Amino acid sequence: MLPAPFIAAVEAAIGANRLLTASDDLVRYGVDRTTVWQPAPAAVALPGSSDEVRQLVLLANQYDVAVVPSGGRTGLSGGAVAKNGELVVAMDRLNEVIEFNPIDRSVTVGAGVVTQVLQDFAEQHGLFYPVDFASAGSSQIGGNIATNAGGIKVIRYGMTRDWVLGLKVVTGSGELLELNRGLLKNNTGYDLRHLFIGSEGTLGLICEATIKLARPPVDLAVLVLGVNDFPAIMAVLEKYTNALDLTAFEFFSEAALVRVTEHTGLARPFESVAPFYALLEFEQGGDQLDTAMALFEECLEAELVCDGVVSQSLSQAANLWKLREDISETLWHWKPYKNDISVLVSKMPEFIVEVDALVAERYPSFEVVWYGHIGDGNLHLNILKPDDLSIEAFTEQCGTVSSEVSALVERYQGSISAEHGVGLLKKPYLKHSKSEQEINLMRAIRHSFDPNGILNPGKLFD
Ligand code: 2HG
Ligand code: ZN
């Protein structure tokens, strides 16, 4: 229950109709794409400006109300879950493209602008916003920044962090900060902008962002290869990355392909059945396509791959991409437990053998579906919940195995969350990727920005 004077003050600040308390709104705004926690916020506020965001944060401090910042809620680690009577502050109304500067090749947008809208805006201006993932149609820029979202083009373009030139934020103590103001060069000490990127709503609320845009890639081709085993994937990766500037190198298992084709009705890429598939994308101009085809022949001869197909049209390329991009959404129906781990690409061949043996031994009766951004050293392991097991029992069992997977990741000096953030789900494993000293410094930083601890309490660390 929120205090009545707090509710009255919030309604006065943003308008009574911008404070939602209907149960379907609470359910909708109280969860992300995780299925573990029950949503239970007390109310949802929809501010219409950074000043209104600021007023909400000041009131939350005054009345000691916990605030959960909310974007498109497509996260997979529970970072946007509100389960304890919090006030959700959703950025949906901050959805304007505020300013476009073709000379600087930058665009300033409200935090609530949907990723796809930004991508389309860039395209309409002959430019390109390269951060892309399956949830681009509903994820919001503010959430992408708060989680430093990655996706399917990281091998070429990097993560969200690489595209943020400036941020307007309201800190946990209610200060409005303009960080870096769009500058490309600005060596004036600590770059606070970068602290906010990936902070998962624990330092402040992102209200606006200035984003750098790129030149669009030209004439992309998609190549899907049937690959004979894990070591072969890495050998194929090495061959292709040495010869071409790939814009993507993704992989998925036969189990993933079977589920996706059944769920979507899409055709398999070719008739041969392989244990794994690699999806490569590159600009095919000049002699790039010939190079790619020559490498394919080499890979066939070396028995690394058993079959392959290259896109002949934009629609075929899009359909091949769907075989990879639709996996997460398809598997959602099995309420999967997710690991999102990374190691250096150079360590991947050794690591993958160990992690494969570990999960095979520890999940003897669960189906483990492999896919991910292997070109970035990032694996997604999805463990599917058997129908006859409760979500609680399933999550507990997977959590135990996750500790072992995390210990292995630590041994390889990798990350327990490559791109999905920590939120609630990965919090117990953070110690495997960050030292105690680092976590203590993170706590101190959080305290400087949010001294009363009102922002997203319980996320990232306790
Ligand atoms: C992807 O790469 C997303 O498709 C989702 O990061 C991964 O659902 C997952 O495990
Ligand atoms: Zn991913």
Nearest ligand for residue 256 CA: 1
Nearest ligand for residue 252 CA: 1
Class of domain 97-212: alpha beta
Q: Is 328 in the pocket of ligand 1 (CB under 6 A)?
A: yes
Residue type, 99: E
Query: Which distant-in-sequence residues (6+ apart) come within 8 Å of 343 by Cβ?
Result: 351, 377, 409, 412, 413, 414, 415
Structure letter (DSSP) for residue 342: E
Residues linked to residue 205 through DSSP beta bridges, in sequence order:
170
Nearest CA to ligand 1 atom 7: 328
> DSSP per residue over 74-123, as a string?
--SSSTT---SSPEEEE-TT---EEEEETTTTEEEEETT-BHHHHHHHHH
Q: What is the pLDDT of residue 57?
A: 99
Q: What is the pLDDT of residue 144?
A: 98
Q: Is 380 in the pocket of ligand 1 (CB under 6 A)?
A: yes
Q: Is 324 in the pocket of ligand 1 (CB under 6 A)?
A: no
Q: Same CATH fold, 335-441 and 220-328?
A: yes
State the sign of the Cα–Cα–Cα–Cα dihedral 82, 87, 89, 93.
Answer: positive
Q: What is the pLDDT of residue 426?
A: 97
Domain boundaries, the chain: 4-93, 97-212, 220-328, 335-441
Cα(328) to centroid of ligand 1, in Å? 5
Q: Is 425 in the pocket of ligand 1 (CB under 6 A)?
A: no
Ligand 1 atom nearest the C-alpha of 33 is 8
Q: Is 369 in the pocket of ligand 1 (CB under 6 A)?
A: no
Cα(53) to centroid of ligand 2, in Å? 31
CA trace torsion 94, 95, 100, 105 (10° rounding): 100
Ligand 1 atom nearest the C-alpha of 134 is 4
Residue type, 420: H
Measured distance between the N- and C-terminal CA atoms of the chain, rounded to whole angstroms = 23
Domain 220-328, CATH among 3.30.70.2190, 3.40.50.720, 2.40.50.100, 3.40.309.10: 3.30.70.2190
The tens-digit pLDDT sequence of the chain (462 residues) is 899 999 999 999 999 999 999 999 999 999 999 989 999 999 999 999 999 999 999 999 999 999 999 999 999 999 999 999 999 999 999 999 999 999 999 999 999 999 999 999 999 999 999 999 999 999 999 999 999 999 999 999 999 999 999 999 999 999 999 999 999 999 999 999 999 999 999 999 999 999 999 999 999 999 999 999 999 999 999 999 999 999 999 999 999 999 999 999 999 999 999 999 999 999 999 999 999 999 999 999 999 999 999 999 999 999 999 999 999 999 998 999 999 999 999 999 999 999 999 999 999 989 999 999 999 999 999 999 999 999 999 999 999 999 999 999 999 999 999 999 999 999 999 999 999 999 999 999 999 999 999 999 999 999
Q: What share of the chain is helix, strand, coil (3-state, %, to 5)?
A: 40, 20, 40
Cα(256) to centroid of ligand 2, in Å? 14
Contact 296, 234 (CB under 8 A): no
Nearest ligand for residue 35 CA: 1
Q: Is 342 in the pocket of ligand 1 (CB under 6 A)?
A: no
Residue type, 12: A
Using one digit for the tens of pLDDT, what is the confidence trace for 224-272? 999 999 999 999 999 999 999 999 999 999 999 999 999 999 999 999 9
Using one digit for the tens of pLDDT, what is the confidence trace for 441-460? 999 999 999 999 999 999 99
Residues linked to residue 282 through DSSP beta bridges, in sequence order:
221
Domain 335-441, CATH among 3.90.1170.30, 1.10.3720.10, 3.30.70.2740, 3.40.50.800: 3.30.70.2740
Q: What are phi and psi of 210, to 5 degrees?
A: -100, 125
| Strand-pair category, 106-110 with 164-171 | unpaired
Query: Which distant-in-sequence residues (6+ apart) come within 8 Å of 321 by Cβ?
Result: 152, 222, 279, 281
Cα(260) to centroid of ligand 1, in Å? 13
CATH 3.30.43.10 fits 4-93, yes or no: yes
Q: What is the pLDDT of residue 147?
A: 98
Cα(239) to centroid of ligand 1, in Å? 25
Q: What is the pLDDT of residue 86?
A: 98
